[in-house]
Chain A
Amino acid sequence: MTAIAMVVNGREATAEVADRTLLVQFLRDTLHLTGTHVGCDTSQCGACVVHLDGKAVKSCTLLAVQASGAHVTTIEGLAPAGDLHPVQAAFREHHGLQCGFCTPGMIMTAVDMIARHDGALDEKTVRDELEGNLCRCTGYHNIVKAILAAAESTRSAGTPLAAE
């Protein structure tokens, strides 16, 4: 067991965890932040994507102890309660989800993607960068549309996108 401390969605979180605890288990089981999903056991689906110090990572392939000392943002921390982050709003507007299982990971990946490219995205780049996020429902088309629209709106608004 190891004592860990990290900032999750702006709040200090401390706990004693078994060293083999995955970050996603810590988020879901200890902090009850169940927006982060687990969709595979091969590190391929991206349902578990969160931000570690501002970068998209797969929380199923990271130990909670590795994240000790870091800032973690989950889908719950993107916007204040009751509000939608621009990327969340774009997914709603453009019907970028059906069952919604992949959506938290898609949105965390999209926020990271838009921030890294400064909002300057084209369809090919979006599709390439969605490499590590699988969706079994939508056929991706509306997800790509939503991300492009969100990128466009943040570019024109000139607002920083990252929540962290």
Chain B
Amino acid sequence: MYETTYHRASSVADAVRIAGESGGEGKFLSGGMTLLPTMKQRLAAPSDLIDLRHVPEMKGIAVDARRVCIGGGMTHGEIAESADIRAVAPGFAELAGLIGDPAVRHMGTIGGSVANNDPAADYPAALLALDGLIHTDRREVPAADFFRGLFETALEEGEIVTAVSFEAPDASAYEKFRNPASRYAMCGAYVARRGTDVRVGVTGAGADGVFRWSAAEQALTQTFDPAALDRLTVDAGLMLSDLHGSSIYRANLVTVVTKRAVAKVA
């Protein structure tokens, strides 16, 4: 790891100020479960690290009727175990419990994951399907506008994800087909149903990152049954291809995994 200078922010304003002083070469540090491995490989060399783990405003989970608001500093483990989230959106809590392993879940945060937008990260699929909002220190961005391709988001220089929120649907579920070595999603599908309206968010498979599968949404809005997807496939040309699986393999996975998610909801 290259040399760096550590700062511990005590508030969002404090973090923004330190980031400003670092002249654009600093990075926020939340759980460090993505950033530190990257720094160890010398693929990132931030001049400064601004630790957000001790920022009180980014903590807490509030469920008000069906509106769920999760502080950006909440860990995957805290989200997975939250009785309040489980009561209204058990699929979301289950998703958090499938991230990495217990030690990763004790440190890694939803704010860090959303900001990172790894094409195989789990939360983006759910936030797209749930029409979630990403709250930052300066605005609120709908998930559909926030996630912009591989590791790309709407975040500006020095902008902090302070929370995410969504309206709990009538029912939802996540199905994840894991890479057996890394345990990241080779394909993950989050299916959310509100009345007859259905949303499907897919991660791990798209060449341009997380996406909504609209053809499946239309078919499921007519008939909410896995069989409704029997004849549907995504365009393999738009899928990722790497040593873990070809784009044709991934295109098939999208159908298989989405059907399993629908079966869980139904």
Contact = CB atoms under 8 A, between A and B. Distances in A.
Interface string B25-53: 00001001100110111000000010101
B107 A131 contact: no
A132 B37 contact: no
Contact of B103 (A20, A22, A66, A132): A132
Interface of A (DSSP majority class): mixed
A132 B3 contact: no
Nearest to B182: A44
B101 interface: yes
Contacts of A129: 101-102
A61 B37 contact: yes
B90 interface: no
B106 A43 contact: no
Interface string A53-66: 00111101111011
Q: Which of B2, B5, B53, B104 is the most central at the interface, judged by chain A CB atoms within 10 Å of its CB? A: B104
B100 A131 contact: yes
B36 A61 contact: yes
B102 A63 contact: no
Contacts of B107: 57-58, 61-62
A108 to B, nearest CB: 9
Nearest to A62: B32
Given A41-B40, A41-B41, A66-B51, A61 B32 contact: yes
B103 A19 contact: no
Interface string A4-19: 0000000000000011
B101 A46 contact: yes
Contacts of A61: 32-33, 36-37, 40, 107
Contact of B6 (A19, A41, A46): A19
A43 B104 contact: yes
Contacts of B39: 20
A20 B106 contact: no
B37 A42 contact: yes
B36 A131 contact: no
Contacts of A66: 6, 29, 32, 51, 53
Contact of B3 (A18, A113, A116): A18
Interface of B: 1-6, 8, 29, 32-33, 36-37, 39-41, 49, 51, 53, 77, 100-104, 106-107, 182-183
5 contacts: A20-B1, A46-B103, A55-B77, A62-B32, A129-B102
